[in-house]
Amino acid sequence: MTNNNENIYYTLPAVIRETARNKGNNKALSSLETGSTLTYTDAINYIDALIYFLEQHDIGQGDKIAILSNNMPNWGLAYFAITSMGAVVVPLLPEFSSKEIENTLQHSESKAVFVSSNLRRHFNNIHTPHLNYQFAIEDFSEINNNQKVNFNLSAKPKKSYLVEEEDLAAIIYTSGTTGSSKGVMLTHKNIVFNARQSGYVQSINENDRFLSILPLSHTYENTIGFILPVIHGAHIYYISKPPTPSILLPALKKVKPTIILTVPLIIEKIYNSKIKPTFTKNRATKYLYAVRPIRQAINILIGKRLKRTFGGELRFFGIGGAKLDSIVEKFLLEAKFPYAIGYGLTETSPLAAGVNPQTTRWQSTGPSIRDGQLKIHDPDPKTGEGEIWIKGPHVMKGYYKNPEKTNEVITSDGWFKSGDLGKFSKDGYLYIKGRLKNIIIGSSGENIYPEEIESIINNFNHVLESIVVEQKGKLIAKVHFNQQELEEKYTDFKEEVADYIEHKKIELRNELLNYVNNRVNRFSKLQMIQVYSEPFQKTATYKIKRFLYTH
């Protein structure tokens, strides 16, 4: 039998078993594709059977087991089985290339992998000496017909496992925006502490329905969208496919979620494609919308409609992973939409600061989480801005097999250097300015924040996304226009539409240059705009991979 670890509060096996003991009949994990639902008691039975299954494959405490899969209930079952036996889970992002997967499996020395059928193709060309087993995550069968033992739901573990709070639970490899992956080591306490503290930011109860739309392999969704609801006995619904409108809208109607976690790009796309056109379609509506009381009244009406689109029962719409566009946030605030912004990194498990919809402030991520610490290191005497440092039980153990890099980012007294720039309000609310490495230094030594310029660009008609970089001393914006929107607008031109749109893009580029330069300070003015026909490549949380576009 496995050890229930009843006396160990901050471990993953303690979390799932405590909930199963107290709320075993509660619905836990559901798949919208298959219609299947597991209770917390069902989940424990699967976890115990999986531990036995892994034992029969010579897997034990300390072994590394990878998961490469789209979201589904079995993802969570595999995660808890691995960590409940003191093994270490290595979640891989579904977006990883075959080479990235191979490098990660090799670096982590993963002994086995749970993989979904749609991602098995990656293993045709992967060679790593440590990987002994591949398991199909859909039914927990062994791939390649080399069955040592079949998965048996009635099986129970042969061994007893004592899992300690400071034991390593997960190694998270992030694609990041720097072009190089690092293995972030998170302990059981890191993850469970962070999930419990997130519950103080926003109260969760067993009646909550979470709709999971971000990858479970990302710490943001994993800790706050998975471990947090499990702690409180809530119900999680999974969509295994990307959340396109055709997939997401029926899911929202069916689930009527109370809680969704998302990233800025998703809500920004909804705003730019569905909401913004309603008040910019002609000169009269633009004029009326510019009048503050009228705008606020319109926004409240649109906000009610937006809430109905999300199922009508939403009480927390969490936004994290990148900076939210200021104009979009102003709309959400005036629309009384129940959004809230959080701040954190994989290295902090992830949440470091956060608010709930009742305490949201425009462009702030809120104060530090309970029992965590934030400080601004070496703040500028004039602006109060400086690098954000973080301390607490949620700060990672370090980077796997990389003590030099660990020592670069964690001080001798335990402060983690985030690489983000920010400042505090007088009452401790944090305001993020941008990434330290993204700052562009102007010709006279001024700090130029590309994220602030991008926010202005992205609110120009027909712009989908942008990135501002410095090239050969010039400030350049790379912009991707909404091709579909332009085609729909100019369909009257029939055969000439393609040529006309290309001509229109040149016009828009010139208009955009004037638009931006009339709204920024003198040292943030753009010298050039480059038009990109394809969307920019992004990370798992839909941040543009800047390193690909800086040259």
What are the tens digits of pLDDT across the range 5-62? 444 589 999 999 999 999 999 999 999 999 999 999 999 999 999 999 999 999 999 9
Task: Name the nearest CA neighbour of 331 among 395, 408, 278, 405.
Answer: 278
pLDDT in tens, 299-339: 999 999 999 999 999 999 999 988 888 899 999 999 999 99
Of 237, 272, 295, the residue at which a domain comes to its end is 237
At 469 the three-state DSSP class reads strand
Rounded Cα distance between 96 and 218, Å, is 12
Pairing of strands 37-39, 27-31: antiparallel
Is residue 453 domain-shared with residue 432, that is, in the same domain? no
Rounded Cα distance between 386 and 420, Å, is 8
Is residue 229 domain-shared with residue 341, that is, in the same domain? no
Would you state the pLDDT for residue 173?
92
> Over pLDDT 70: what percentage of the chain?
93
Rounded Cα distance between 313 and 256, Å, is 6
pLDDT exceeds cutoff 60 at 270: yes
Would you state the pLDDT for residue 130?
94
Is residue 364 domain-shared with residue 291, that is, in the same domain? yes
At 37 the three-state DSSP class reads strand
Query: Whole-structure pTM over 0.75, yes or no?
Result: yes
Would you state the pLDDT for residue 498?
62
Of 436, 467, 497, the residue at which a domain comes to its end is 436
Maximum alpha-carbon separation in the chain: 74
Would you state the pLDDT for residue 119?
95
Which ranges of 314-361 would DSSP assign to H, the alpha helix?
326-334
Would you state the pLDDT for residue 176?
40
* Dihedral sign computed on CA atoms, order 224, 137, 82, 185: negative
Is residue 429 domain-shared with residue 480, that is, in the same domain? no
At 352 the three-state DSSP class reads strand
Cα distance between the two ends of the chain: 57
Supply 479's token pair: 């912009």
Q: Is residue 243, in this structure, part of any structural domain at all?
A: no
pLDDT exceeds cutoff 80 at 3: no
* Cβ proximity of 218 and 75 under 8 Å: no
Would you state the pLDDT for residue 314?
98
* CATH code of the domain in which 484 resides: 3.30.300.30
Would you state the pLDDT for residue 5?
45
Comparing 1 with 490, the larger pLDDT belongs to 490
Supply 42's token pair: 């069902």
pLDDT exceeds cutoff 60 at 146: yes
pLDDT exceeds cutoff 70 at 131: yes
- Model confidence band, residue 538 (pLDDT cutoffs 50, 70, 90): confident
pLDDT exceeds cutoff 50 at 179: no
Q: At a CB cut-off of 8 Å and minimum separation 6, what does 309 contact?
A: 249, 252
pLDDT exceeds cutoff 80 at 147: no
Domain count, the chain: 3
Tell me which of 24-28, 260-264, 396-400, 542-546 is least confident.
542-546
Q: Is residue 108, in this structure, part of any structural domain at all?
A: yes
Is residue 316 domain-shared with residue 213, that is, in the same domain? no
Comparing 448 with 133, the larger pLDDT belongs to 133
Q: At a CB cut-off of 8 Å and minimum separation 6, what does 487 contact?
A: 497, 501
Is residue 190 domain-shared with residue 280, that is, in the same domain? no
Q: Is residue 101, in this structure, part of any structural domain at all?
A: yes
Residue 491 CB burial class (10 angstroms; 0-12, 13-18, ≥19) = exposed
Distances (CA, A) of 266 to 276, 345, 448: 14, 19, 26
Q: Which domain holds residue 447?
A: 439-548
Across the range 239-263, mean pLDDT stands at 92
Is residue 267 domain-shared with residue 413, that is, in the same domain? yes
Residue whose entry in the numeric block shows the structure tokens 């702030």: 364
At 529 the three-state DSSP class reads strand
At 383 the three-state DSSP class reads coil
Q: Is residue 244, in this structure, part of any structural domain at all?
A: no
Distances (CA, A) of 81 to 24, 61, 419, 543: 17, 11, 34, 31
Beta-sheet strands, E only, within 163-225: 168-173, 183-187, 209-212
pLDDT in tens, 412-443: 999 999 999 999 999 999 999 888 888 887 76
Q: Is residue 360, in this structure, part of any structural domain at all?
A: yes
Read out DSSP for 395-451? Answer: S-SEETT-HHHHHHHB-TTS-EEEEEEEEE-TTS-EEEEEEGGG-EE-TTS-EE-HH
* Cβ proximity of 24 and 41 under 8 Å: yes
pLDDT in tens, 458-472: 888 888 899 999 888
Comparing 158 with 98, the larger pLDDT belongs to 158
Specify which residues 39 forms β-bridges with. Answer: 27
Is residue 390 domain-shared with residue 462, that is, in the same domain? no
* CATH code of the domain in which 268 resides: 3.40.50.12780
Q: Is residue 399, in this structure, part of any structural domain at all?
A: yes
pLDDT exceeds cutoff 70 at 401: yes
pLDDT exceeds cutoff 80 at 226: yes
- Model confidence band, residue 2 (pLDDT cutoffs 50, 70, 90): very low
Across the range 507-524, mean pLDDT stands at 89
Q: Is residue 251, in this structure, part of any structural domain at all?
A: no
Would you state the pLDDT for residue 444?
63
Q: Any idea what the Cα angle at residue 389 is, between residues 384 and 390, rounded to 5°?
A: 135
- Model confidence band, residue 492 (pLDDT cutoffs 50, 70, 90): low
Supply 384's token pair: 């109060």
Is residue 484 domain-shared with residue 344, that is, in the same domain? no
pLDDT exceeds cutoff 70 at 253: yes
Would you state the pLDDT for residue 551?
73
Rounded Cα distance between 36 and 455, Å, is 42
Is residue 523 domain-shared with residue 500, that is, in the same domain? yes
Is residue 423 domain-shared with residue 511, that is, in the same domain? no
pLDDT exceeds cutoff 70 at 177: no
Residue whose entry in the numeric block shows the structure tokens 């034991």: 167
Which of 125-134, 176-185, 190-199 is most confident? 190-199
Strands of the sheet containing 235-238, edge to edge, are: 37-39, 27-31, 235-238, 209-212, 259-262, 316-319, 339-344, 351-354
- Model confidence band, residue 114 (pLDDT cutoffs 50, 70, 90): very high
Q: Is residue 250, in this structure, part of any structural domain at all?
A: no
Average pLDDT over all residues of the chain: 90
- Model confidence band, residue 100 (pLDDT cutoffs 50, 70, 90): confident
Supply 92's token pair: 């891989």
Q: Which long-range contacts (CB under 8 A, 24 or more apart) does 485-489 make?
A: 485/273, 486/462
Comparing 509 with 5, the larger pLDDT belongs to 509
Is residue 281 domain-shared with residue 204, that is, in the same domain? no
Of 436, 464, 479, the residue at which a domain comes to its end is 436
The continuous run of DSSP H or E covering 198 comes out as helix 188-201
Distances (CA, A) of 550 to 200, 478, 537, 538: 40, 10, 13, 14
Rounded Cα distance between 438 and 445, Å, is 15
